[in-house]
């Protein structure tokens, strides 16, 4: 994609701050770990300025834990609805936080994706955007929405996962890898501006 990436945060080029976001077009919150409470403790100091930045016209993209953090309990409160655990949703095809391959209906096409305990999303009454992907049980796997003058895109599964993630987990990587879904998530969020 036509973006120059900078890594911000504890091990990045500079700390996550309002100043660091002031020159950003998109902020991507990656996945990592399986403890939402711990992730929120680490990210809570950034909540107000990150929320303000998105409300003012920024774009937040959250993958897996980044999708959970876009929600409300706990989280940044960017979604008019909320995030929840897919594995606890009615009819979920996976019931643990392990590494799995899950079939995602992405805009009408089946795309197997790497999954590790990610969220599903509940639309709120003010969500103005769109659903891009559904899990096999019909719950929302990926969506975009407006937040003030800004926008967000969130996904529970990992369309950005390289082949090594699948192989390291003992899974057969899909061919082709669903990178196009990750690109579409970012593009769809940007198009809401």
Domain that holds residue 35: 19-191
- Tell whether 161 is covered by a domain: yes
What are the E-state strand segments in the chain? 26-29, 59-63, 82-85, 100-106, 109-115, 119-122, 129-134, 140-147, 150-155
| CATH, residue 66 | 3.40.50.880
User: Would you place residue 3 in the very low, low, confident or very high pLDDT band (cuts 50, 70, 90)?
Assistant: confident
- Tell whether 11 is covered by a domain: no
In angstroms, how far is the first alpha carbon of the chain from the final one? 18
Predicted TM-score (pTM) of this structure: 0.96
- Tell whether 7 is covered by a domain: no
- Tell whether 13 is covered by a domain: no
| Number of domains observed in the structure of the chain | 1
Q: Name which of 88, 92, 34 is nearest 64 in CA terms.
A: 34
- Tell whether 10 is covered by a domain: no
- Tell whether 14 is covered by a domain: no
**CA dihedral (49, 53, 54, 56) positive or negative:** positive
pLDDT single digits (tens) 72-121: 989 999 999 999 999 999 999 999 999 999 999 999 999 999 999 999 99
CA–CA gap between residue 64 and residue 156 (Å, rounded): 4
- Tell whether 67 is covered by a domain: yes
């Amino acid at each position: 994609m036509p973006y120059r990436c900078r890594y911000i945060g504890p091990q990045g080029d500079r700390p996550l701050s309002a100043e660091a976001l002031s020159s950003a077009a998109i902020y991507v919150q990656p996945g990592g770990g399986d403890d939402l409470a711990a992730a929120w403790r680490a990210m809570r100091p950034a909540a107000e300025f990150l929320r303000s930045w998105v409300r003012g016209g920024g774009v937040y993209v959250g993958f897996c834990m980044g999708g959970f953090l876009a929600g409300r309990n706990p989280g940044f409160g960017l979604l008019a609805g909320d995030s929840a655990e897919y594995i606890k949703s009615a009819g979920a095809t996976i019931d643990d936080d392990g590494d799995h391959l899950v079939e995602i209906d992405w805009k009408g096409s089946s795309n197997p994706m790497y999954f590790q305990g990610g969220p599903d999303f509940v639309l709120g009454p003010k969500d103005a955007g769109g659903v891009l992907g559904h899990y096999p049980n019909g719950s929302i796997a990926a969506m975009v929405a407006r937040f003030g003058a800004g926008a967000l895109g969130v996904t529970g599964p990992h369309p950005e996962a390289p082949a090594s993630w699948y192989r390291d987990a003992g899974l057969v990587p899909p061919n082709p890898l669903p990178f196009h879904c990750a690109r579409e998530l970012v593009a769809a969020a940007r198009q809401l501006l």
